[in-house]
Amino acid sequence: MSKQRYARFLSRRSIVSLIGIDYPILEKSELDNFFKFLIAGFLVLVILLISFCSVFYAFDLMFDMWHAEILLSSFFSLMFFTIYIFLIQTFSKEVFPTAYKLKFFNLSNLSRIGFVLMIGFLIAQPVKIFVYRHQLGNDLERYKSELYQKFSKVNSDLYSSDVDKLITQKSAYLLMAKSETLDAEISKIDADIVKINAQIDLANVTANNTISNSNFFIKRIELANKYSGSSFVVLIILTLFFTPIVLIYSISGKSKYYELKKANDRNLVEIEYIKFKAKYKAIFKTKFTLADVDFHEPFNDPPFNTKRKPLPEYLTQEQFFNNLIENERL
């Protein structure tokens, strides 16, 4: 049973349905452009797999709890995938009434392309640092060492004035004649110096542990940018995200499948509109006892409303009076 479900999930109908293709209509069109739809569907599945692995690797660097990593990776990868599917399903293939008849490069499609590329760019970052993980391991160790050295210097400088002051004070006491009071003061100064050094050492140890245990996820991305191949990795991911859009949009809006789909959608809208008008008249008849109430339609092609009815012809004052006189004679 599980094998049948698995096979059903990977059937060509399920794959093309991922990108919003109505398979019954596709069959009626004699599988018009089926190969392009199928390739686009496979690429969408690959995008889902890469998205999950990318997000999982990112969370694996941030956390150390495998169950949290799986849950978060599943949530975010499915969220990105759902947004991506929604975007590619809503790309418009209509011709807008502009001077240059722009089909693809309109504001609606360009905003969707930008969002798709942004998702691809985000997914590409963990992939990039995974590809260069060995080189980045060495780079990160050097960065951690430099960061610790900087902290140690700042930490030492922070207490240096206090230590110097105590050492100067001790040196002055040593030049004086010995006494029990001076010995007590010198011992106190030594204790203060030891205490300050202990604070410095404790801060250094804490900083070293924090730096050593940090994953520096953002820094890994920054360090990966110095490798020329990282840009190529990002370009591959962006191309992968963009290819299904190109495949789908390369199919003409006048192809057999899209013509059938438009006719089917139009027929569905018209049927529902007829039902709406019938319901509209029924409400006026039952609640207000008004029969044969017409639903005002200012367009010639309701409910799509793309062709407005011509305005009525207005008569001149002279024509009005002439018509009035003729009506009185009658």
What residue ranges do the domains of the chain occupy?
Answer: 2-132+227-251, 135-218, 264-329
Q: Which residues contact 153 (CB under 8 A, 6 or more apart)?
A: none
Q: Cα dihedral sign for 309, 310, 314, 315?
A: negative
CA distance 296 to 308: 12
Structure tokens at 53: 């692995």
Q: What φ, ψ does residue 3 adopt, rounded to 5°?
A: -65, -40
Could you give the angle at which helices 34-62 and 217-224 cross, rounded to 10 degrees? 120
User: How many CA within 13 A on the CB side of residue 327?
Assistant: 6
| Residues 175, 112 contacting (CB under 8 angstroms) | no
Strand partners, 299: 308
Residue bearing tokens 């009005």: 320
Looking at residue 132, what is its pLDDT? 92
3-class DSSP state for residue 299?
Answer: strand
Looking at residue 97, what is its pLDDT? 45
CA distance 49 to 116: 16
Looking at residue 104, what is its pLDDT? 57
Looking at residue 242, what is its pLDDT? 92
User: How many CA within 13 A on the CB side of residue 278?
Assistant: 6
Query: In the chain, which stretches have pLDDT less than 70?
Result: 1-10, 91-105, 328-330
| Residues 81, 53 contacting (CB under 8 angstroms) | no
Q: What is the residue-wise DSSP string for 31-87? A: STTHHHHHHHHHHHHHHHHHHHHHHHHHHHHH-S-HHHHHHHHHHHHHHHHHHHHHH
What mean pLDDT, rounded, does the chain reach? 83
CA distance 196 to 90: 66
Buried b (16+ CB within 10 A) or exposed e, 95-123: eeeeeeeeeeeeeebeebbeebeebbebb
Looking at residue 94, what is its pLDDT? 55
Could you give the angle at which helices 66-89 and 34-62 cross, rounded to 10 degrees? 150
3-class DSSP state for residue 133?
Answer: helix
| Residues 147, 211 contacting (CB under 8 angstroms) | yes
Q: Cα dihedral sign for 248, 251, 257, 262?
A: positive
Structure tokens at 288: 């207000």
CA distance 164 to 151: 20
Looking at residue 249, what is its pLDDT? 82
Is pTM, for the whole model, over 0.85?
no
Looking at residue 253, what is its pLDDT? 76
